[in-house]
Amino acid sequence: MAAQFFKIRIMEEEFLAPLRGSVPVSIEALADELCAAGRFVIESATPEMARFRWASAPRRDHWPEDATLYLHQGDLLLNVHTGSGQERDQIVEAVRVAASKLLSEPVTFEEL
């Protein structure tokens, strides 16, 4: 019997949180806050970009991150690469809570 291969399409969804001139935010500091509860692991981080994944999931060598967070023209841009809607919603909410805590003001993400 011939082997069957299935192509899985990873859908990337983008979310933007306008900061409207808030206090400047460091993505590294936001990544630290996001990982404080132990739900996520940072794959890489700079002051303007962080790649992170679920701590409970095994690391994939070919695509290690589940999401990428950018500082984009003073706003937060979140790209989610994970498969399910529930996981996507959990990542967006976790980043929203971490950003709101770090900035001491409400942060809201809008899907692009």
Residue 81 lies in a domain: yes
Separation CA 67–CA 101 (nearest Å):
20
Residue 9 lies in a domain: no
Residue 104 lies in a domain: yes
For residue 32, give its domain range.
Answer: 14-111
Q: What is the pTM of this model?
A: 0.83
**Angle CA(96)–CA(12)–CA(4) in degrees, nearest 5?**
135
Residue 6 lies in a domain: no
57-75 tens-digit pLDDT = 888 877 768 899 998 888 9
CATH (domain of 44) = 3.30.310
- What pLDDT is stored for residue 110 in this prediction? 95
Residue 8 lies in a domain: no
Cα Rg, the chain, nearest whole Å: 15
pLDDT exceeds 50 at position 7: no
Residue 4 lies in a domain: no
Residue 106 lies in a domain: yes
Residue 3 lies in a domain: no
- What pLDDT is stored for residue 5 in this prediction? 47
3-state SS, residue 66: coil
Number of domains in the chain: 1
